Chain A
Amino acid sequence: MKLKPLLIALAGVLALPVLAQSTLTVVNFGGANGGAQKIAYFEPFEKTGTKIVGVEYNGEQAKIKAMVEAKKVSWDVVEVESPDVNRGCDEGLFEKMDWSKLAPKSDFQAAAVNECGVGAFVWSTVMAYNADKLKTAPVTWGDFWDTKKFPGKRGMRKGPRYNLEFALMADGVAPADVYKVLATKDGADRAFKKMTELKPNIQFWEAGAQPPQFLVAGDVVMTTAYNGRIDAAQREGKNLAITWTGGIYDLDYWVMPKGTPNKDLAMKFIAMATNPTEQAEYTKHISYGPTNNKALAKIDPKILALLPTSAANSKTALQFNITFWADQGEALEKRFAAWAAQ
């Protein structure tokens, strides 16, 4: 009699491989964005019979590199930031994208089409402020630097990325010329000099969750921030506002680490996550723009007004220049470290 439960358990164990669904490991940055992806992409995909194992990471490409080098790839689909797509593609960390299984290239934004990746969404680094505390809205990056008109601290990302571009715009460089100027020695000097001007008033942030916290706590009067994070705070009822002038927009991409055993499934997932319907659904949960232009027609105008891709918001925006940062990034990061130590 006592054997019976044991036998049942044994039968259960034996039956497991038969019952086991196929699984796909999808890696993203978590947070509000991860939540939106779960609702818009993971849950519909799981209805097709594949279980999705969601993993969060912080964009450390070292993990992918280590996996690929050890030939033990346990991640199937990974969301990566734009500089890492080209670099990883060049260094053979990612599988080539099979564009025959995706929507036609012409449906996508030009930047979303890549040898090894597809644009997942468009996000923007913008100026944000607490509308409860600041009666007059800052309009330009010049205002951000104007500590007489707007006394108080400014939040900025710890590192040279975005900050040097904003500094040049504050110094009167037109958005279209920013990278041309920054590529020269004089331009970089000019940007760092402008940063020095603001240095005593800068409070640096490390993680994307910090800028809205700074604003709510009153630590800073304005800050640079990822627009989705401000959107998430607004949804929680905080009266934060965005100034879109001179924002820097950028794309995150879906890639597949080289040697993933589930490439076919991974392609299926990516195809679904770049469909107009699913991308339109995604924008309801976080204000990041779609990469498939066909999605725009399906988005409520009210939501569209909050996205970096809307006509009004992208009018004076600057596209993050991947090639520039791939070439100059390391040197500028080091110069930033030296600048911070001064």
Chain B
Amino acid sequence: MSATLDMTSLAARLGRVERRKRVRAMALTLPLLVFLALTFLVPLGALLVRAVENPEVADTLVHTGKALSGWDRKALPPDEVFQALVTDLNAMPETAQAGVLARRLNTEVSGARSLIMNTYRAKLDIASLSAAQVKDKLLEQDARWAELPYWLAIAKNSSRWTPDYLLTSLDLKRDAQGDIVKVGPEEAAFSAILLRTFSISAVVTLVCILIGYPLAFWLSTLSARRANLMMILVLLPFWTSVLVRIAAWIVLLQTNGLVNRFLMFTGLTDSPVPLLFNRLGVIIAMVHILLPFMILPLFSVMKSVPPNFVRAAVSLGSSQLAAFFRIYVPQTYPGIAAGGLLVFITSIGYYVTPALLGGAGDQMLSYYVAQYTNVEINWGMACALGSVLLITTLALYTVYRRFGKAELSLG
């Protein structure tokens, strides 16, 4: 009896000690967790929220939104809606509110910006007018109020949340009746851009593997001293500013640059090859910038591969080449996977390199995120594009994890 009692109290005490240890360990990581939450999760959450948030119309055109709720969306809305709109516009205390509303509606219908601002500035006096008279007055002020798309845009955006930014990022839109349809070929840009972003990143990753693998292998066979020296050479460009390296590539690759002069001198071509301001230039520069990300993980994995397996295979009658590919290479898969993932994820976000070395058809998604942030000041759209990039990247990463695990269990 007493022995079992002792046993349980011992177990309980042990459990308590363990728990205390865990709490202490947690407390040590707490600053890091708080830091991560503040600098990483909060901005990401804000990004995702901003991609669906739509307060501009709901906050300012309260009456108009209500008056539009029963509208059939096929003909011009009833006169009361015109009255509600002028009331709402006149009630705005500051120009800034009208400006924000005008910008929001202009992203839906080109021309809404000037329409809203003109009407807002006109400050129509409708104190003693009937709804029908207000309508006439508004149409007289700007005849565009007789066009349906402007009213559709207001009706569509009078709710606080919208899927529109995300739909636009996928080349979809809601039609007047609220059904999701594909946009016309003139507006369909983003799926091609997303595909381009991933295909450029995939090509860069592949080229990095093809170039980085032999180099890392050679480095791993050198003595420690020489390997360190060579490693510094690999890392040297890594410490140079990206812009400087891009400028250097422009000098090298331009029409009368060193590379083209060399090609023409050796007689490989008669006229200069276009190496810049196209896809090729972007890929060359990106591979150069990202190569260290591939070589470092590969090198560290290759250093830990014991050489006796390959020797054993050769001594058992395998050819050198077969032993290399069937024994050595599989042992470096973790390095290839880690390096590949690093390079791929980093290149997805590339912006400056394609902007300066690519043509109009070589820009990656970040370029358009920057454009919407800085030029159009349409942060909803910028956040939606960012979210799409984030979600597709996470999805790809999940697939990679599955694939990675299968690889391990097969091994």
Chain B residues, CB < 8 A from A330: 106-107, 110, 376, 378
Q: Determine if A92 is an interface residue (Cβ-Cβ < 8 Å).
A: yes
Residue pair B359, A217 in contact (C-beta under 8 Å):
no
Chain A residues, CB < 8 A from B186: 335, 338-339
Chain B residues, CB < 8 A from A10: none
Interface residue count for B (Cβ, 8 Å)?
45
Q: Determine if A312 is an interface residue (Cβ-Cβ < 8 Å).
A: no
Contact with B along A309-342 (1 / 0, CB 8 A): 0000000000000010011111101111111110
Residue pair A338, B187 in contact (C-beta under 8 Å):
yes
Q: Determine if A219 is an interface residue (Cβ-Cβ < 8 Å).
A: yes
Residue pair A341, B94 in contact (C-beta under 8 Å):
no
* 8 Å CB interface, B38-85 against A: none
Bound CA span A335–B189, Å: 7
Chain B residues, CB < 8 A from A338: 185-189, 192
Residue pair A91, B103 in contact (C-beta under 8 Å):
yes
Q: Determine if B349 is an interface residue (Cβ-Cβ < 8 Å).
A: no
Chain B residues, CB < 8 A from A339: 186
Chain A residues, CB < 8 A from B277: 203-204, 219
- Which listed residue (A87, A206, A219, A337) contacts B254, Cβ 8 A? A219
Q: Determine if A74 is an interface residue (Cβ-Cβ < 8 Å).
A: no
Residue of B193, B363, B375 with highest tally of chain A CB at under 10 A: B375
- Which listed residue (B102, B110, B254) contacts A217, Cβ 8 A? B254
- Nearest to A93 among chain B residues (CB) is B96
Complex interface: stretch among B199-207, B213-221, B366-374, B398-406 = B366-374
Chain A residues, CB < 8 A from B373: 60, 62
Bound CA span A90–B116, Å: 11
- Which listed residue (A92, A203, A329) contacts B94, Cβ 8 A? A92
- Which listed residue (A328, A329, A337) contacts B368, Cβ 8 A? A337
Residue pair B185, A90 in contact (C-beta under 8 Å):
no
Residue pair A218, B256 in contact (C-beta under 8 Å):
yes
- Which listed residue (A58, A65, A89, A334) contacts B377, Cβ 8 A? A65
- Which listed residue (B114, B187, B190, B255) contacts A335, Cβ 8 A? B187
Q: Determine if B15 is an interface residue (Cβ-Cβ < 8 Å).
A: no
Residue pair A91, B96 in contact (C-beta under 8 Å):
yes
* 8 Å CB interface, B275-332 against A: 276-277
Residue pair A333, B371 in contact (C-beta under 8 Å):
yes
Residue pair A341, B192 in contact (C-beta under 8 Å):
yes
B265 → chain A closest CB, angstroms: 17
Contacts known (A336-B360, A338-B188); A90 close to B377, Cβ less than 8 A: no
Q: Determine if A239 is an interface residue (Cβ-Cβ < 8 Å).
A: no
Q: Determine if B98 is an interface residue (Cβ-Cβ < 8 Å).
A: yes
Residue pair B256, A61 in contact (C-beta under 8 Å):
no
Q: Determine if B232 is an interface residue (Cβ-Cβ < 8 Å).
A: no
B98 → chain A closest CB, angstroms: 7
Q: Determine if A38 is an interface residue (Cβ-Cβ < 8 Å).
A: no
Interface residue count for A (Cβ, 8 Å)?
36
A163 → chain B closest CB, angstroms: 10
Residue pair B193, A337 in contact (C-beta under 8 Å):
yes
Contact with A along B180-196 (1 / 0, CB 8 A): 00000111111011001
A152 → chain B closest CB, angstroms: 10
Q: Determine if B356 is an interface residue (Cβ-Cβ < 8 Å).
A: yes
Q: Determine if A194 is an interface residue (Cβ-Cβ < 8 Å).
A: no
Chain B residues, CB < 8 A from A203: 277, 359
Q: Determine if A238 is an interface residue (Cβ-Cβ < 8 Å).
A: no
Residue pair A204, B110 in contact (C-beta under 8 Å):
no
Q: Determine if B95 is an interface residue (Cβ-Cβ < 8 Å).
A: yes
* 8 Å CB interface, B238-295 against A: 254-256, 276-277
Q: Determine if B99 is an interface residue (Cβ-Cβ < 8 Å).
A: yes
Q: Determine if A51 is an interface residue (Cβ-Cβ < 8 Å).
A: no
Q: Determine if A158 is an interface residue (Cβ-Cβ < 8 Å).
A: yes
Chain B residues, CB < 8 A from A335: 186-187, 189
B254 → chain A closest CB, angstroms: 5
Q: Determine if B117 is an interface residue (Cβ-Cβ < 8 Å).
A: yes
Q: Determine if B163 is an interface residue (Cβ-Cβ < 8 Å).
A: no
Residue of A58, A61, A331, A339 with highest tally of chain B CB at under 10 A: A331
- Nearest to B94 among chain A residues (CB) is A92
Q: Determine if B390 is an interface residue (Cβ-Cβ < 8 Å).
A: no
- Which listed residue (A89, A323, A327, A341) contacts B193, Cβ 8 A? A341
A9 → chain B closest CB, angstroms: 36
Bound CA span A65–B112, Å: 21
Residue pair B374, A331 in contact (C-beta under 8 Å):
no
Residue pair B376, A341 in contact (C-beta under 8 Å):
no
Contact with B along A265-294 (1 / 0, CB 8 A): 000000000000000000000000000000
Residue pair A328, B189 in contact (C-beta under 8 Å):
no
Contacts known (A217-B255, A340-B361, A341-B361); A90 close to B99, Cβ less than 8 A: yes
Contacts known (A204-B360, A340-B360); A334 close to B113, Cβ less than 8 A: no
Q: Determine if B231 is an interface residue (Cβ-Cβ < 8 Å).
A: no
Residue pair A91, B100 in contact (C-beta under 8 Å):
yes
Bound CA span A62–B377, Å: 6
Chain A residues, CB < 8 A from B106: 326-327, 330
Q: Pull 21 A–B residue pairs with CB atoms less than 8 Å apart, ordered by A.
A: A62-B379, A87-B99, A87-B377, A90-B99, A90-B117, A92-B96, A202-B359, A217-B256, A218-B255, A326-B113, A327-B111, A327-B112, A331-B110, A333-B371, A335-B187, A338-B187, A338-B189, A338-B192, A340-B360, A341-B193, A341-B361
Extra A-B contacts (7), CB below 8 Å, given A219-B277, A338-B188: A89-B99, A91-B103, A92-B94, A327-B106, A330-B107, A337-B193, A340-B359
Footprint of A on B, CB under 8 Å? 94-96, 98-100, 102-103, 106-107, 110-114, 117, 185-190, 192-193, 196, 254-256, 276-277, 355-356, 359-361, 363, 368, 371, 373-379
Nearest first, the 5 closest Cβ-Cβ pairs linking A and B are A92-B96, A90-B99, A91-B99, A340-B360, A338-B189
